[in-house]
Structure 1
């Protein structure tokens, strides 16, 4: 009997995107990361997210981008490898490990070494959680002497973080305060796992899909890692985990992983909390229990007894044929006659001359084996097609032996197991459907857990971003207050400057009025003889305005005064010598009239810097 296809055919799976598969192959060939065994739905979602971050909308373009920007691989791996972990994650499961599983494991190992493997350890929180509970159970001295914890992951960046063994208060919020004080050192904002226990935790890179597993493991922790892989890759990894564990070892999985399809390798210890034991010797029984039929050779006690025996044989639901020691057919019941089309003419004929001896299967060899070995021989699952019907038979050949060991003949029993085969086929189909349903349920559960971890990762990123924004906002507030303070100071300085400008303007106006009121021409020069002041009387005398003279060298001015003769007097006052006497000079005013003028040169001094220039006063008749 063959399995019939179900009425509702399953929808064919969506064909993989060849460009996406080519991208995965490129990542595998160039960097050794094999993502082809990951679930496509979550993998596509994570890769698309990274592509969106860098502003690329096609897999071919992203592959080109990876070729020219090798640093992008790190960002891609950090996005795909979701490193969501924490201390004592799912506290109820860790409590069960501490209170129920660990005492039995330690007692079983007595004084031997205990080997623990944390597969997919991410940044190491679960590996250090294992160290905490083992150290608490054994004591620190026994822990250092007996325990080795191997923590592995494919993400080198996460392993580098894990090796530092340094955590913040926020990272340790799931750890009881007494354990933090006992097993962590350092300041409150950065706490480091104690070095004495840290040496027992060994971190290394291991790809569960490609690399050989660590062997002789007593406790294997692989939590929320299998759910990222498809069913085929999961089966490969589960086989390697089975190999890694000791016969009495314990496997501890995440809450989304139930191993429903791997009962031949692991059996649940506590399915709710995801603890499993290794199946050492899987038992696969097949067959039917059929009693041996013993035929005693006896004499007839009369026709009635003979008929009773004959009718009893005919009424048997199992087809039976009896052959004597010479190989002749001596008996057949009604069931055999109907099944093989036997008649009374076959009685007494050699069995090997009958069609039944070689069709549907050659029975001569097993008959010879049963006679020679004096034991029943089974020939199972014989398929026999008659017309449009197919029958499955289990044939038992039983040697008939007298009390003294003499062979009397052979009895052949033909059991019709077609109904059993049909039920077995239906059962296998039901098992396949159930297994498919379990796998779909498991896949859905794992997908939900993956999505949950992605959301948790996003929430943590948003919290970090929010904290950064909060910090930036506080800095901006501080800067704003500083700017406000500076603005107040600038306003105050501006007010002072305005007052001083007013004072300076008033003083300047006063000086200007003084200089204007003087009937003498006044010229002020600096040490380089550059004109600094040129009053109105000087303009009237020599015909040059203030804007034409200020900034010019005194000796370069084209005026009617012989300025060259003033050089010695100016040099004398600039060198702090005695004040020169007034000098009488002949000059020509702006109208061209000859005049006599008296010139007085005086030094301009400041207390801090000394002589800064000279004051020249030219007196002339009005």
Structure 2
């Protein structure tokens, strides 16, 4: 069952409704909504969205198991995560304005559901959700982003799209189609084993990738590669992998897009915080312990992606050095195959939601807040050197103190993993540390490492430097790619030696001057002899450039001679140069010769140094000086030189003083800048909080607007309902003040529109002396409804009801008085009573005994003459069966047959004899079927006629 996490902020309500209107109720997916809600306001989002979908929409609760075809909405002021398909709610840890609830949930969704996770980002401001989509994408899930052109606020969609974490960019109404298609395709793939045609198509794609990019992905796990190929196929609506392979051949750009898709750039700052805590407390202090002040700490982060992990290690290292009170030179290399990821890492600019992973203290200390997010400070960026490298086939770095390769090998087959572990061992110094992710291990290479922390996968090299550190099953690609000669050939070549070679070496050592071989830039390639008298390492960053390493006084001549040799090919031979070294003036002869052989020495220059001959007195031989004129000139020049030196010294001292003042001013400006930066950070924080509050208010406003529209619709329905039922209604509060009334109520009370808010006692009614206000007070006190028929002075009759007015919270807040016009019913009842009176008068005037029976032969009416002749009362006959009259004397089979069988077939009968009903009297019964005009009820009329006495 795919679980779809949907995130939105400002303007998300309309997008939610549009999205769910196009989803069927049986999609077999679960949906979890994470909008930005006001923590102090009760959300009505569930009520609003329930109108847009037939699926149940409920507010999420803690420990609720997510079910398919259900929609869950995060409650206000709660963080939400997913663990084994169960929602976990907690109170937010971060302050308002710094929370990233969408990122937090999407990350947990990706970690819990892997390829069954789907992330959707809809309208909103900021960048919340971007890092969550990256995690879902890296775990093989699907990511959808709303087209910014259709979003009310395009900040969140644009951030996700620019970061490259959107597999589909669509308007909300088209997302349902993509989700359903992906779900169907995933079900087919899971239930169908790979066919030979599928395997063949996959191999064709691997060959096309290797041919176009030079990188072989055949050693990657097939499930990982397959999911990403399927995503690209779904993007182009291609279902057959052979068709997609042919599409790749025809579209070279698609190969590059697929190549980028296969590069898994899933990382974050301080991923697995406890592992980095172990790195800080245990591992790095052990590495740095006992190291000299000039020690260079070398570290390598392989598969660095966008650089978060490399910068995390750099920050940890900086903190450790500060805690130790020592400063080491750091060389931290971070490499990856993806050039786009390396470009992001070099820029060091990350979205604002990294605050979920980086503590506020580290954000303040190591980052600078900018418009687009947070940028790593320059001193940390300068610690890291980023480079593009294929760790599988390119040679590794060497002499490393720490190698970190986390969550790279989990995507590789076992064969590549077995090649990488020895390569990392080769890269490490004796005692160096390998840092892996909790999901990775050194496999079958336990002889190369000893475990420092099995939980967080820190390993120390176990064999000494003199041992063979390249214990591999085959020759590494980075060795075979560098040389085509076999090792045996190389060794044999090195052993070849003869007398001529020994003689050549002896002559070079005895007679060749001190020399260096450089390229055209002056960078030293080879050194012959002791160059300490002529070259020395300059202070600052290390260099091997001969011009930069030359002593003062020699640099100018060397640079000029090198330039002449490079640009014009003219050698400089035996040029005498004087310079000062160790307080002593030295004189040498400089030679700079470009190599003439264009094949062997193209782009190379030979620089040689000869010491000039010295006189027996220890001074350098020179020509005898001239006469007195020359000596005077020399003295004058020496005086000028002394004066110039004095002036130069004064200028230097003034310059130094100015430099100190400028340095002091610069420190003050720097202090002011830090204060301004701190103020700016506080303002940025306030801005973020205000922006967050604004987003929440926009969401609340959208909900309230939808509620207003709903209430408006309900009010229209209520108005039409009250107008069409023709019932006068007056709504009164607990002080009997008019709240609202209908137009029919104006026929009882003389009400106009301006009477709302006035006491009802101020309004004259048309009722005949009926005090309804006192009854209303009684209803408020006792909560017992009151009902009465009342008459107006115009002769109209109304059924008046007074009932308590209850709010949604079941609070009594007044009464409701209704008036239902019953004039027609009263007139009908009066007419019926009048008709009954007339009928009774007629029957009494006739003077014959009569009975009216219902369909069950029970007596409905007995005339006075019947009661008189048979000596019974009305109460004794009414409602009783005719067969029970006179103690059952009327119950005869003949009468039953007459009433139950014969009379239904005939309209009437006459002359049925009733004997001994009364002593000494005989009667004849006559019967007729009649129908009540009012109710349509079938009745029987029995007439009783006394027979005259016989002769």
TM-score tier, shorter chain, comes to: 0.3 to 0.5
Structure with the greater alpha carbon radius of gyration: 1
TM-score calculated relative to the size of structure 1: 0.42
Taking structure 2 as the reference length, the TM-score comes to 0.28
